Structure 1
């Protein structure tokens, strides 16, 4: 589980750079905000799905071990 949190950390440094673009183009800012939101949501969904699959895989392995005994 600690490994899952690592991929989301590098995404954070990109956000402070975008206010520089907001002063020039407000329209580009809205699209970049949407892109950041979409990227964050997609990464969260991917991480949750991955953790769920890992959790289910671990549970299935445990169940298989229990049934074999």
Structure 2
């Protein structure tokens, strides 16, 4: 999966605040993502996030 720092992704399941969009802050064995609605930052293991990404939003969709 081709994901870069700064990309926005739509997840299959929403954050508890109700938003499904997250911004990628860090990539490695763990991904650090930020909810675009409430601003909460979360560390998620790579295998879990790659399974839960629905789509990568393009520049037109940001």
| TM-score band, normalised by shorter chain | under 0.3
Question: If each structure's helix is expressed as a fraction of its own residues, which one has the higher value?
Answer: 1
Question: If each structure's strand is expressed as a fraction of its own residues, which one has the higher value?
Answer: 2
TM-score by structure 1 length? 0.21
